[in-house]
Amino acid sequence: MWLAPILLVLDRTGSASLGGLTASAALLPTLVTAPLLGAWLDVAGRRRYAIAGNQVLLAAALTAMLAVPAPLMVPCAALAGLTQPLVTGGFSSMVASLVAPERLPRAAALDSMTYNVVNVAGPALAGGAAAAAGAHAAVGLQVALALAGLAAVLSLPRAVDGERAAEAPWPVLRAGASHLLRTPDLRAVTLITMLAQLPWGFMGVGAPALAAALGAGEEAGGLLLAAVAAGALAGAALAPALQARRGLLGLVAAGTFAQGLGLALLAAAPSPPSALAAAALTGAPQGVAIAALMTARSRWSPPHLRAQVFTSAAGLRTGVYAAGAALAGPVLAGPGARLGTLLAGVACVAAALSAPRASAPRRPAGTSAG
């Protein structure tokens, strides 16, 4: 529901640039906090309480955003996003420890589908609440859902907390960063999906403007993002079968390339219905790519570094997404929503083509191809 604060900024100020800055402020701190939080999770345990703390912090910061003057909404957004890697990476890092190795591809696909489900529901709820009762109501609903999530977090089995390690987090932080950089295919999928977040950061802010360019209201931007996530849900369901035919790195690269083509279709859509169809087509390869990414992170990371690999990689993705959101204001003020969406597609294609360089050198002969 990060669309809700953007709609609130647009409602109060009418500034797309400030909306992009708000989204960027909510996401950019994860570049720093993600590896630190991941290393801490790997050595400290108590994952349930850490994630529950994030929910409380998120709700408090969003509540403050409703009350403060417009210029102070940006630091409130930064506070709301400070510990988000505990959710975007912390949850998923637990999956491999809860299933047998042969069930990991299906478990990772199901895990990625949960992101797709909430990415359908979040923008739709934000846009619907804003259209029905105003942007303040959309942010208020986001606060309520953050607090409702506490019950789900605390229902996790105690086993996911893990054992407290004797070592300090700093050696684990160095070891995790080294593993992420020195494992060729893990580095490659991380780089591709990280670069692909630049165009999606733009789309997170630019979707309302694109909806307006299509002749619909700005609130319909939530429906466009929901259509992308609905397509991704279908794509993730196909991912386990596709992984058996093609390597994980190949799926991530091909899925990212296809997203670029889908964004080009979306940029050229003549009407809102055709735009929704193009958005769904764009989301399908995104779902395949993200499901393959989840499997790759689990399969190519040792258990004692897994939380840090997940949170660090998620933090990199979120940080680049924030950069794309920050660029949205100048792009929308200049080239406009349609050309900006086309440029986002070009950026996705460029991210996919980074794969051959990122994956060299190859793994030693005789190791699993995944």
Q: What is the pLDDT of residues 207-234, one digit of tens each?
A: 989 998 998 877 788 789 889 988 988 8
Which pLDDT band, with edges at 50, 70 and 90, does 312 fall under? confident
- 3-state helix, strand, coil split of the chain in percent (to 5) is 85, 0, 15
* CA nearest to 232, candidates 284, 278, 196: 284
Is residue 303's pLDDT more than 50?
yes
For residue 85, give both structure tokens: 């890697």
User: Quick one: angle between helices 272-299 and 248-267, nearest 10?
Assistant: 160
User: Which class in CATH covers the domain with range 3-359?
Assistant: mainly alpha
Is residue 118's pLDDT more than 70?
yes
Give the pLDDT of residue 164. Answer: 60
Distance from C-alpha of 59 to C-alpha of 243, rounded to nearest angstrom: 38
Convert the pLDDT of each residue in 175-184 to its tens digit: 778 888 888 8
Give the pLDDT of residue 158. Answer: 75
Give the C-alpha distances (Å, rounded to integers) separating 149 from 48, 99, 145: 12, 23, 6
Give the C-alpha distances (Å, rounded to integers) separating 303 from 11, 290, 306: 46, 20, 5
Which pLDDT band, with edges at 50, 70 and 90, does 86 fall under? confident
The predicted model gives 80-101 an average pLDDT of 81
